[in-house]
Amino acid sequence: MSILRIQNLTFGFTPGRLLFKDFNLELKQGQLISIVGKSGSGKSTLFELISGNLQPLKGSIERGKIGWVFQDPYSSFHPSYTIIDQIEDVASTEGIGELAAEMGLTNDLLTKLPHELSGGQLQRCSILRALLMRPELLLCDEPTSALDNVTQLDVMKLLVKYLDKTGILLITHDMDLAKWASDITIALES
């Protein structure tokens, strides 16, 4: 079943300089597709188009329910509210105990403020929050770039583990990571 279908997408910020011209993509549940490219190639713009924050000049985007995992987990959580409060603001906490345990997150850790956690712990909390939103499509914008190599691998293994419940579109600069994790890798040219 397709959870994301992009057909003939055309988009650019300035006339005469298109980031996308007749771009097509289909993502199915259980798939992980990586979008790789240099800064300015349109990776983040593609996510903005998929999420509906930008409108294409031409073409169509059909998508299921979206969840996000951002590059910098510290900026994706409010500094003065506990992790659990921020999860409860956007998602059902049904099944949170089991899911958190699978991710190596304790109930005690979820009651802390973001600055009290390591980058890896906070990124796992970000993934937990996104999965509890029950997305059909998980948009991951450089989810491992701020982490050390061991934590990067742990976070990616964690994401891949949940492909039976969702499909993942991953933005990354890391071609080795894309090759390791992806069913399909799409390189955008700047």
Q: 8 is written with which tokens?
A: 């003939």
- Is residue 122 situated within a structural domain? yes
CA of residue 85 relative to chain centroid, distance = 21
Could you list the pLDDT tens digit for every one of the 190 residues in the chain?
799 999 999 999 987 889 999 999 999 999 999 999 888 889 989 999 999 999 999 999 999 999 999 888 888 899 999 999 999 999 999 989 998 998 889 999 999 999 999 888 998 899 899 999 999 999 999 887 767 777 778 878 888 888 888 999 999 888 888 888 899 999 988 6
Q: How many domains does the chain have?
A: 1
CA angle 40-46-47, nearest 5°?
Answer: 115
* Eight-state DSSP code of residue 104: T
Domain housing 175: 32-55+66-187
CATH number for the domain harbouring residue 118: 3.40.50.300
Would you say 9 and 61 are in contact if contact means Cβ atoms under 8 Å apart?
Answer: yes
**How far, in Å, CA of 60 to CA of 49, rounded?**
10
In a domain, 1, yes or no: no
159 with 183: CB under 8 angstroms?
A: no
What SS3 state is found at 187? strand
Q: Is residue 7 part of a domain?
A: no
The three-class DSSP label of residue 122 is helix
In a domain, 41, yes or no: yes
Domain assignment present for 60: no
